[in-house]
């Protein structure tokens, strides 16, 4: 098969994808996304689940929000986050199947 027959995404789009994947490629961020795929959570709950101070968790969340993965909504003094990018579910599914509790490590 020649390269003219292949279905390829343009390199600019691949660069954007790589940047977003770099943002996601952090254990605390993956844990937060895993939680947020199951419901909306305030920063404090996400921070606690990762063993992080709230300020550090907020920075992780802001990075993912800038990439378009998350949205946030203020409710009183709390900021709740939710998943904005539906494809995150597929990415996490791949990760959980390969590295989750039931996966065999290689």
State the chain's mean pLDDT as an integer.
92
Domain membership flag for residue 78: yes
Can you point out the beta strands (E) in the chain? 41-42, 70-75, 78-83
pLDDT digits (tens, 9 = 90+) for 65-86: 999 999 999 999 999 999 999 9
The answer to whether 81 touches 71, Cβ cutoff 8 Å, is yes
Q: Which domain holds residue 77?
A: 28-99
Domain membership flag for residue 22: no
- At residue 5, the pLDDT reads 85
Provide the domain count of the chain: 1
Say whether 75 sits in a helix, a strand or coil: strand
pLDDT digits (tens, 9 = 90+) for 26-49: 999 999 999 999 999 999 999 999
Pairwise CA distance, residues 68 & 92, whole Å: 16
**Helix 54-66, helix 27-36: angle, nearest 10:** 80
Domain membership flag for residue 94: yes
pTM for this prediction? 0.86
CB atoms within 10 A of CB 47: 21
Q: Are strands 41-42 and 70-75 parallel, antiparallel or unpaired?
A: unpaired
Q: Which of 3-7, 14-18, 29-33, 68-72 has the lowest mean pLDDT?
A: 3-7
pLDDT exceeds 90 at position 102? no
CATH of the domain at 54: 1.10.10.10
Say whether 70 sits in a helix, a strand or coil: strand
């Amino acid at each position: 098969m020649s390269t003219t027959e292949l279905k390829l995404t343009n390199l600019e789009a691949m660069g954007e994808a790589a940047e977003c994947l770099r943002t996601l490629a952090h254990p605390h961020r993956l844990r937060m996304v895993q939680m947020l795929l199951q419901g909306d959570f305030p920063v404090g709950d996400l921070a606690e689940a990762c063993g992080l101070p709230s300020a550090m968790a907020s920075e992780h969340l802001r990075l993912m929000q800038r990439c378009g993965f998350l949205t946030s909504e203020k409710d009183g003094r709390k900021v709740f986050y939710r998943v904005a990018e539906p494809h995150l579910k597929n990415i996490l599914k791949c990760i959980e199947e390969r590295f989750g509790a039931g996966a065999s490590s290689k």
